[in-house]
Amino acid sequence: MSTLRFQALKETLNRKPLKITEPARRSEIFSSNVFNETVMRQFLTKEAFENVTEAMRTGKKIDRNVADHISTGMKEWAISKGVTHYTHWFQPLTGTTAEKHDSFFEPLSEGLAIEKFGGSQLVQQEPDASSFPSGGIRNTFEARGYTAWDPTSPAFIWGTTLCIPTIFVSYTGEALDNKTPLLRALQAVDNAATNVAKYFDKNVKKVNATLGWEQEYFLIDSALVASRPDITLTGRTLLGHSPAKGQQLDDHYFGSIPSRAISFMMDLEIECMKLGIPVKTRHNEVAPNQFELAPIFEEANLAVDHNSLIMDVMKKVGERHNLAVLMHEKPFAGINGSGKHNNWSLATDTGTNLLSPGSTPMKNLQFLTFFINTIKAVYDNEELLRACIASASNDHRLGANEAPPAIISVFIGSQLTKVLDELEKVTDGKLSPQEKTDLKLNVVGKIPEILRDNTDRNRTSSFAFTGNKFEFRAVGSLANCANAMTVLNSIVAKQLKDFKVEVDKLIKDKKMKKDDAIFNVLREYIKKSKKIRFEGDGYGEAWEKEAKKRGLSNNRTTPQALKAQVSKKTISLYKELEVMNKTEVEARHEIELEEYAMRIQIEGRILGDIARNHVIPTAIRYQNILIKNVTGLKAIYGEEYTRHAKEQLEIIESISAHIASINSNVNAMIEARKIANKIEDVEKKAFAYCDDIKPYFEEIRYHCDKLELLVDDELWPLTKYREMLFTK
């Protein structure tokens, strides 16, 4: 009997939900482990406080002297909460978070000691950067890397450690992390959007990108996961036959949350509250044991940090509940995968959501300006947008049998489609007073203030307008949102910059009124970007054909999709906006290709091992049982035995055939890997893994899954889909 599987099942069936008690009202504990404004007022001198808040608002550098005051205040606050260590918390290009803890403790002479945390330790540190990916940046520049405090994201306490959000850059200034380009992109969109917003309101001084992510995940008992080497090592099942019952009945979605899951969620939410992460929504997702969590949106930089942090916290809280949190985009074949919708908008410092239709025609013109510019930005950069969400794991959603597809399209709903159709007819040149009044009254003025509930629901589009924000739905559940946010904010920044130039030119050269100029430019944008808009079912063959006709890209695999990352257009876009230089762009491309090849390589190895060491031996064992049975029947019935052993004989043959296929495919895959591993060029290597190795996975899996159906359940060593998905 396969002991690990049955032991794991037994353990799982005996689990009881942990009892979670709320420590206090949530509003009371909210942000209690964050070095926020209230705490700063308490622990900082007035000067230090003003310096930090200004740095948070404007990005102004903090004086070294002042840094000493701040670090002392931070340390006192942290120690008062039982903290012993501090760390610079950063997001290297591995996509996760990194930390190295140092103690406040410092020995003095004669057995005395103090707690110390100086300004220089707050502001800058040098983690050993050599073990983080740099895509050749360090080789080229022989530079060490350092982390630098990012005061726009507040320090927080996790456990007994004070965590200081930082960026990670090389000594020559190249970004080695996900945060640095993001901060630069946010600066770029702030500049560009502020200039455009001033057409409508002179008082706007700053525009923030906002982000509200929705994190999907699976919760599977940790013992069951431990019994599956594929999940343990790759985050997903590499084989396993789909259960007789899957998600067909839709009985999990929005259903009542299982009790162990709800106690995990409560525990997690309490931790989030303390960390100042404003989680708000929790519910079951489409697949069994799949769930979703969403906070209230925040300024994008903070939201990105909070998502990175929560992914870490979820794992740790999961451990307390003996639950493994699977963040992979496709842990189970044939069952809904997980995404991370990125809800995005732009908000002014005067409190206006620029993607929210307003109560007056003027406010609606402002809305339309940002709305249409975003659509145009997506159209012009659809390939780059596809590239920023590409990963080995997300390939199982995009371009595979799941919505959203690998094609980027924008869904805006029928009401706004009508509005854009009307605007397309606006006169070329100056508008007559009659036309303007008519536009304001009947088109621009007719956009309902609350579109939210009127926006058609479309679940298959990769980029949808949902009333007062765009929802970028193709982002992977495992991804760091920084990548998607860097690209989206950069392309919109570039677009708004160009828009401003065009409008100003019409005002200056053609002596047009501001509104006329805006209408004229928007009209052209609507025409030019029409091909990206799609209101139908953005999924399936019909749409693929249509998209091809429209000239939209359909890059189904990561190596293919990543090409757009290093195109001339991308490099010049980033250069113009000062988001990344060519070295940084190319380094990232190299890192992502390398990571892709590595992930497929690891999966290939593990699949080969499981097929050989688990599946084949089990199949042989079962085959032997059948052979013994047949031999026995022959002893009893003589030549007549085939009448009684027909089924057994068929299975014996079937097993042999599957074993032979597994063997030959595993051998062929190993040979293909050997060839791929000799390739020096990273891109070619990634393509080899994608085109020459990955296809074997399906083949091998197919035969393993067939064996799973044939072999005696008692003997099967790998925990089955139905057990992982339906044991709660």
Give residues in contact with ligand ADP (CB under 6 A): 210-212, 214, 294, 296-297, 343-345, 353, 466, 468-469
Pick the stretch among 145-153, 333-341, 388-396, 640-648 that binds Mg ion (CB under 5 A): 333-341
Q: Determine phi and psi for 163, rounding to 5 degrees.
A: -105, 125
Residue 408 and residue 561 in contact, taking contact as beta carbons nearer than 8 Å: no
**Residue 385 binding partner per list ligand ADP, Mg ion, none, with a CB distance cut-off of 5 to 8 Å that depends on partner kind:** none
Q: Count residues binding Mg ion (CB under 5 A).
A: 1
Angle at CA of residue 369, ends 362 and 537, nearest 5°: 120
Taking the complex as a whole, the smallest distance from the CB of residue 281 to ligand ADP amounts, in Å, to 7
Give the CA angle between residues 331, 243, 703 to the nearest 5°: 80
533 binds Mg ion (CB under 5 A): no
State the binding partner of 348 from Mg ion, ligand ADP, none, CB within 5 to 8 A by kind.
none
* Least distance (Å) between residue 521 CB and ligand ADP: 25
DSSP string, 557-578: SHHHHHGGGGSHHHHHHHHHHT
Report, in Å, the least distance between residue 209 CB and ligand ADP. Answer: 8
User: Given the complex with ligand ADP, which of 152 and 353 has the nearer CB atom?
Assistant: 353
Taken in order 426, 428, 434, 437, the sign of the CA dihedral is positive
3-state percent breakdown (helix, strand, coil) of the chain, nearest 5: 55, 15, 35
Between 216 and 230, name the residue whose CB sits nearer to ligand ADP. 216
Which of 14, 27 has the CB closer to ligand ADP?
27
Q: Can you list the pairs that 517-525 forms with residues at least 24 positions away whose Cβ atoms lie under 8 Å?
A: 518/199, 518/365, 518/369, 519/423, 519/426, 519/431, 519/439, 520/426, 520/428, 520/429, 522/368, 522/369, 522/372, 522/423, 522/426, 523/423, 523/424, 523/426, 523/428, 525/372, 525/373, 525/375, 525/376, 525/499
CB of 450 to ligand ADP, least distance (A): 12
We find the least distance from the C-beta atom of residue 343 to ligand ADP, in angstroms, to be 3
Residue 75 or 341 having the CB closest to Mg ion: 341
| Residue among 193, 229, 219, 221 at smallest CA distance from 208 | 193
User: How many other β-carbons are positioned within 10 Å of the β-carbon of residue 114?
Assistant: 9
DSSP-based three-state secondary structure for 61: coil
Residue 581: CB partners within 8 Å, gap ≥ 6? 174, 574, 575
Cβ distance to ligand ADP smaller for residue 279 or 591: 279
Residues 6 or more apart in contact with residue 550 via CB below 8 angstroms: 531
Nearer to ligand ADP, 89 or 344 (CB): 344
Instruction: Give the side-chain half-sphere CA count within 13 A for 560.
Output: 12
Identify which of residues 41 and 459 has a Cβ nearer to ligand ADP in the complex.
459
CB 357 to ligand ADP: min, Å: 12
Q: Which range in 295-303, 335-343, 384-392, 659-667 contacts Mg ion by CB under 5 A? A: 335-343
Chosen from ligand ADP, Mg ion, none, partner binding at 294 (C-beta under 5 to 8 Å by type): ligand ADP
Report the residue number, 49 or 291, with the smaller CB distance to Mg ion. Answer: 291
53 interface partner picked from ligand ADP, Mg ion, none, CB below 5 to 8 A per type: none
User: Which residue do the tokens 């005051």 mark?
Assistant: 69
Minimum CB separation of residue 713 from Mg ion in Å reads 39
CA distance 95 to 178: 8
Rounded least distance, CB 100 to ligand ADP, Å: 32
- Residue by residue, what is the 3-state secondary structure of 87-128? EEEECECCCCCECCCEECEEECCCCCEEECCCHHHHHEECCC
84 makes contact, choosing from Mg ion, ligand ADP, none, with CB < 5 to 8 Å by partner type, with none
Nearer Cβ to Mg ion (341/720) = 341
How many C-beta neighbours within 10 Å does residue 343 have?
20
In the complex, which residue's CB is closest to Mg ion? 341
Is the Cα dihedral 707, 708, 711, 717 positive or negative? positive
Asked whether the beta carbons of 439 and 304 are under 8 A apart, the reply is: no
Q: Which stretch binds Mg ion (CB under 5 A): 71-79, 227-235, 339-347, 680-688?
A: 339-347
Report, in Å, the least distance between residue 25 CB and ligand ADP. 22
345 binds, among Mg ion, ligand ADP, none (CB under 5 to 8 A by kind): ligand ADP
- Spatial distance between the Cα atoms of 149 and 90, rounded to a whole number of angstroms: 9
- How, if at all, do strands 207-221 and 323-326 pair? antiparallel
Residue 298 CB, shortest distance to ligand ADP, in Å, is 8
| Conformational region of residue 95, where left means phi above 0, alpha means psi within -120 to 50, and beta covers everything else | left
> To the nearest whole angstrom, how small is the minimum distance from the Cβ of residue 58 to ligand ADP?
22
Least distance (Å) between residue 273 CB and ligand ADP: 16
* Minimum distance, C-beta of residue 28 to ligand ADP, in the bound complex (Å): 22
Q: Pick what 469 binds: Mg ion, ligand ADP, none; C-beta below 5 to 8 Å, kind-dependent.
A: ligand ADP
Closer CB to ligand ADP, 211 or 633, in the complex: 211
Dist. CA 630–CA 646, nearest whole Å: 9
Q: Judged by CB, which is closer to ligand ADP: 200, or 574?
A: 200
Q: With CB cut-offs between 5 and 8 Å by kind, which of Mg ion, ligand ADP, none does residue 353 bind?
A: ligand ADP
**Which option in ligand ADP, Mg ion, none does residue 687 bind, with CB closer than 5 to 8 A by kind?**
none
Select from Mg ion, ligand ADP, none the partner in contact with residue 379, using the beta carbon and a kind-dependent cut-off of 5 to 8 Å. none
Task: Kindly tell me which of 215 and 222 has the beta carbon lying closer to ligand ADP.
Answer: 215
Least spacing, CB of residue 328 vs Mg ion, in Å: 19
| Cβ-based nearer residue to ligand ADP, 210 or 364 | 210
* Binding characters for Mg ion, 185-224, by CB under 5 A (x = yes): ----------------------------------------
Residues counted in the chain = 728
Query: From ligand ADP, Mg ion, none, which one binds at residue 468 (CB under 5 to 8 Å depending on kind)?
Result: ligand ADP
Q: Which of ligand ADP, Mg ion, none interacts with 129 (beta carbon under 5 to 8 A by kind)?
A: none
Report d(CA 417, CA 371) in Å as an integer: 12
Q: Is 549 exposed, middle or buried (0-12, 13-18, 19+ CB in 10 A)?
A: exposed
Q: Which residue is nearest to ligand ADP (CB)?
A: 212
Q: How many CB atoms lie within 10 A of CB 660?
A: 11
Would you say 113 and 107 are in contact if contact means Cβ atoms under 8 Å apart?
yes
* Residue 656 to residue 681: CA distance in whole angstroms: 40
485 vs 597 by CB, closer to ligand ADP: 485
Q: DSSP secondary-structure letter at 511?
A: -
By CB under 5 A, tell whether 341 contacts Mg ion: yes
Instruction: Tell me, letter by letter, the H, E, C secondary structure of 276-291.
Output: CCCEEEEEECCCCCEE
The listed partner (ligand ADP, Mg ion, none) that binds 709, CB under 5 to 8 Å by sort, is none
From CA 458, how far away is CA 406, in angstroms rounded?
16
Tell me whether residue 447 or residue 573 sits nearer to ligand ADP (CB atom): 447
Q: How far is the CB of 465 from ligand ADP (least distance, A)?
A: 11
Contact 182, 210 (CB under 8 A): no
Positions touching Mg ion (CB under 5 A) are 341
